[in-house]
Amino acid sequence: MTSKLNITVLLGGPSAEREVSLKTGAAVAKALRSLGHTVHEVDPQPGQLKLGAGTQVVFLALHGTYGEDGSVQEELETLGVPYTGCGVQASALAFDKVLTKQRCVVAGVPTAKFEVLEKAGASWPRGWNPPVVLKPVRQGSSVGLQFVNAVSEWAEKLTESFRYDTQVLMEERIEGRETTVGILDGQALPVVEVRPKQGTYDYRNKYTAGATEYFCPADFPAAVTAKIQAAALGAFHAIGGRDYSRVDVMVRANGEPCVLEVNTLPGMTETSLLPKAAAAAGINYAELCQRMVDLALKRKT
C-alpha cells in the first residue's frame, strides 16, 4: 500500500500555456487525492513560491516559461524539496529548441535540417525552398508555430512567430506521419500516432475536442517502432533527461524517424498523450501520477 504523502501540485503559472496547465494540475490533484494523499494546489508566480505546509514532494503540472525552462526547478532546488520531472539543466536545454537540436546532432539523433533567425525582418534564407516550419525557440504547445508554404507568406508568418520570442527556429517541413513517444523511468512507452482531421497539428487542433485522432500503439512495423523509440530515447538522453518526458518524432515515408523536440513537462490531463501511451502499457492514470511521485522521492536523501 502506498504511504500517504503531503504533496503540492504547482499549476497555472505565468506562461502562454496557463489554461492547459490548470487542466493538467486539476486532473493530477484529483488522481493523487483518489490515492489518499493530501494535496495542496498552488498557482505560483516567479520569485514568490510558497508551498503547502509540510510539503514532502512537489508535482510540477506547469507548462511553458517559468515551469518548464528550469526556473521553478531552480527555486525548488534552493528550497531542497524533491519535485517531479527533469532537473534544472535538462529543463532549460529541452525548452530551447535550438540547444535541443544541437545536442541531438552531436549525439547522432536524427533531426530536421534547421536555421536560427534573429530578427523579424529577416529575408528568405539562401539555399532553402518552401515548405518550411517556423517555431519560437522557447515556447511550447505549438505556440507561435507557423507553416510557410510559399515565399510570399514569409514576412507575415515570420512576424507572427517573432511575437513569442526573440529567436525563431526555421526547419525543413518533414512530410510523413506525426508521432510522440512517452518515456517513463528510462523506458520508451508505446508510440502514439497523431492525425489531425484537417490541416496540421497546431494549437487549435491540439486543444479542440475531436479535431485530432490518436492511435496507440501506432500501426508501424516492429522494426520501425523500435527505430522511433530509439530516436526518442536518444533525444531524451542527449538533453540529460530523467524520470519522464514526451518526445515528438516525425516519421518519413521510408520509415526513418526525425526528432522534433523534447517536452520535459508534457500535458497530463487524462486525455493527454503521455497518459494515453502509459494506458497502452497497462499503467492507469492514477498509477502514472504515483510513479512520477515515487521517482521524485527516490532522489530525496
Catalytic positions, written as ranges: 17, 141, 207, 246, 248, 261, 263, 267
C-beta contacts of 23-29 below 8 A and 24+ residues apart:
23/269, 24/61, 24/63, 24/267, 24/268, 24/269, 24/272, 25/61, 25/62, 27/268, 27/269, 27/270, 27/285, 28/59, 28/61, 28/268, 28/289, 29/61
Amino acid, res. 89: Q
Largest CA distance in the chain: 62
Show the beta-strand stretches assigned E in the chain: 6-10, 38-42, 57-60, 114-117, 132-136, 146-148, 168-172, 176-184, 187-196, 212-215, 244-252, 257-263
